[in-house]
Amino acid sequence: MSNIEQTLSIIKPDAVERNLENEIKEIFKNNGFSIVKEKKIQIEKSEAEIFYKVHETKPFFNELCAYLSSGPIVVMVLEKDNAVLRNRELMGATNPKDAEEGTIRKKYGISIDKNSVHGSDSVDNAKIEINFFFKD
């Protein structure tokens, strides 16, 4: 049975800065994802703080929000069968050092903070995150 889902993906500032936008989009398309919405934007730190609210008590929260708002990002809605999980698999582990061969973070990630991509971690959070960036 098919289970088409949407998930939110972000190409983070470190990857946009290195002109990896098109290469990373090709990886998504080659892995069967449709990019149904996309925009290149730069957000305010205050917006990053809302987006990453689940991490507000973590020691890395301030740097994380400063980083996500430090330069242009590409925000995309990806669609595919089981998109949330499939995207997490394609991204690889949070720390690029732990990411498996063939994953986006293994290939492009610089460090645990500059790990090139974001992806929603559940269907519920995907809906919240898509709505955050693409309110109709």
Residues labelled as active-site residues: 118
Nearest 10 degrees: CA dihedral of 118, 121, 127, 132? -40
Residue 113 in contact with ligand CDP, rule: CB under 6 A: yes
Residue 64 in contact with ligand CDP, rule: CB under 6 A: yes
Please say which residue, 106 or 118, places its beta carbon nearer to ligand CDP.
Answer: 118
Q: How many angstroms separate the Cα of 84 from the Cα of each of 7, 49, 65, 81?
A: 5, 22, 23, 9
Which stretches of the chain bind Mg ion, using CB under 5 A?
121
Q: Between vectors from CA 69 to CA 117 and to CA 136, what angle results, nearest 5°?
A: 80
Residue 112 in contact with ligand CDP, rule: CB under 6 A: yes
Residue 121 in contact with ligand CDP, rule: CB under 6 A: yes
Residues making contact with ligand CDP (CB under 6 A): 55, 60, 64, 94, 112-113, 115, 118, 121
